[in-house]
Chains A and B, each alone.
Chain A
Amino acid sequence: MSKVMDAKVLAVYPVAPETYYMELAAPDIARLAVPGQFVHVRCSDAQEPLLRRPLSIHMVSRPQGVLALLFRVVGKGTALLAQRQPGDSVNLMGPLGRGFTLPLPGSKVAVAAGGIGAAPLVFLVQELANLKCQVTVYVGARDKKNLLCDGQFAQLDAEVVIATDDGSLGFKGTVPELMRRHLDWRRTAMCYVCGPRAMMQEVSAMLAEADVPGEVSLEEKMGCGVGACLSCAVQIQHHGEISTKRVCADGPVFPSWQVVWE
């Protein structure tokens, strides 16, 4: 069951240009959350910005009751959130949405992270490590400065392969290009993807071609976060029929082959 609560900020600091790490005391959410879920965050007590902001759960520490968020400042809401100080409180609703489906223990899996899309994948890789999976993370960014979470993935014993658009670190090019060169599809049981829409679409096409199951975490402008307002619509194909699903309540994670990208 999802909760609404005021959570105390334990830490907040920048980790990359316009990108912040925030730690919150939220034991109920930390206990209930699974990778891929999100929290709906009130960024201001005023009437502007009015709506909450959906932020994926970056990491949890269940014993300590701590929830971590990693977010990029893109507008007023996230800018206000970044200004919070330790000791302030933040109103949270969560955990919300459907998370990733975990593979069988010991599976060999690929994880594709693009930009801020790396945020929820750290929590996923935490769980994959607990399942003793063999994980390769393909992590990409515009440049070296904007690369996120590569160190955390490595600490979780994942193999980390880096791509940057400008070649300032690792492979020069995109995550899909890197995966095409590097990945042995026949030995991959599952692939998880979160990043820009074009990247997710490209990786999904590769997965379909290789007949490897995958899951993508989608993003869409959201209102309520609980499935009532129908703002965050996405077209999903199931058994040849296309229907409109809600990213907040039916997702944000969907099977890669079901998403209608156009």
Chain B
Amino acid sequence: MKPNLEVNIGGILMKNPVTTSSGTFGFGQEYSPYVDINKLGAIVVKGTTLEPRPGNATPRMVETPAGILNSIGLQNPGVDYLIDHYAQYFAGLKTRVIVNIAGNTVDDYARLAAKLDGVPGVAGLEVNISCPNVKKGGMAFGSDPAAAAEVTKAVKNATGLPVIVKLSPNVTDITVIARAVADAGADALSLINTLLGMAIDVRRRKPMLGNIMGGLSGPAVKPVAVRAVWQVYQTVKLPIIGMGGIVTAQDALEFILAGASAVAVGTANFINATATLEVLAGIEQYLIEEQITDINELVGAAHR
């Protein structure tokens, strides 16, 4: 019998638990030659700001052992462009589209949320309070519980859409931030954003990234991400989208067992364009093999 794969992420009903990490899947169209996007539970699209942003200086990406460092700097065409040029495409998809939003101020987040409220095709918002690559906003909100709560409240007040808050691992205790945003009304959490890192070119004796520091992602960060999901699952009763170094179904299952209701594939898309569908197929296969009829039974099972 086919197991139930449907999950509910704070009011966003996903037909299966597999989605994409923001910033690794463009607006979906970039990967549509390789992936039937409609088979995914959801896609989370590129981080969007009020005004268009040109992003950071190049080089913006450096390879490191089992990971990559990036400092894209939230390059995006702005929320109005997204609504004008992509909403119709989103509305035509047979998957949920979650828009990741980022701002410099609390008011920016509220205005973004208000603009996206009621836009056809937008199923929810992922609030990025954890980008390590922008000077203002970003991680500054994500590392202070009061600021994280304030942003969450402002977004919740500005929209009827489900609000997922994406947390940074670059904090001493991620559960403190998780509790703050849960108390402020978040509907779900995304864990984790990239880890702040850097690399130096020993020949040139200079930092490798144009922006000096960047966010580490890929298989290298998976243990940190699984740990964060494990800790937060014990702390708050919100659905979690787990992400960080997921390449295979086995990686994804670790996150689910740690407490994630859904998983996002990020860096792996760059290496294997069909990684999302392979992760999905592998999860389904595992459920069949283990005779589990509903994926939700597996969520947090490693705690029991």
Contacts and interface: CB of A to CB of B under 8 A. Distances in A.
**Interface range on chain B (Cβ under 8 Å from partner):** 20 to 34
A2 B55 CA distance: 27
A81 to B, nearest CB: 14
Interface string B53-80: 0110011111101111010100100000
Given A48-B66, A229-B23, A230-B75, A223 B61 contact: yes
B282 to A, nearest CB: 17
B30 interface: yes
A52 to B, nearest CB: 6
Given A227-B30, A228-B24, A233-B72, 13 more contacts: A4-B34, A4-B273, A50-B271, A52-B270, A221-B61, A223-B61, A224-B24, A228-B31, A228-B270, A230-B23, A230-B72, A233-B58, A234-B58
B68 A222 contact: no
B60 A230 contact: yes
Interface in A1-35: 1-2, 4
Contact of A233 (B60, B218, B270): B60
B70 A47 contact: no
Contacts of A222: 61
Contacts, number: 96
A222 B91 CA distance: 30
Nearest to A221: B59
Given A4-B273, A224-B269, A50 B31 contact: no
Contacts of B273: 4, 93, 226
B274 interface: yes
Q: Is the interface of B mostly helix, strand, loop or mixed?
A: loop
B109 interface: no
Interface residues of A, number: 29
A49 interface: yes
Contacts of B67: 50
B33 A47 contact: no
A167 B50 CA distance: 55
Which 10 residue pairs across A and B have the least CB separation, nearest first?
A: A228-B26, A231-B61, A228-B30, A224-B270, A221-B59, A47-B66, A227-B30, A231-B60, A226-B30, A223-B270
Contacts of A244: 54-55, 75
B197 to A, nearest CB: 14
A207 B252 CA distance: 53
A41 B69 CA distance: 20
Interface string B136-173: 00000000000000000000000000000000000000
Interface string A118-156: 000000000000000000000000000000000000000
Contact of B60 (A50, A221, A227, A243): A221
Given A2-B33, A51-B271, A233-B75, A228 B61 contact: no
Contacts of B31: 226, 228
Interface string B16-29: 00000001111000
B267 interface: yes
B10 interface: no
A211 interface: no
A37 to B, nearest CB: 14
Contact of B271 (A1, A52, A220, A227): A52
Nearest to A222: B61
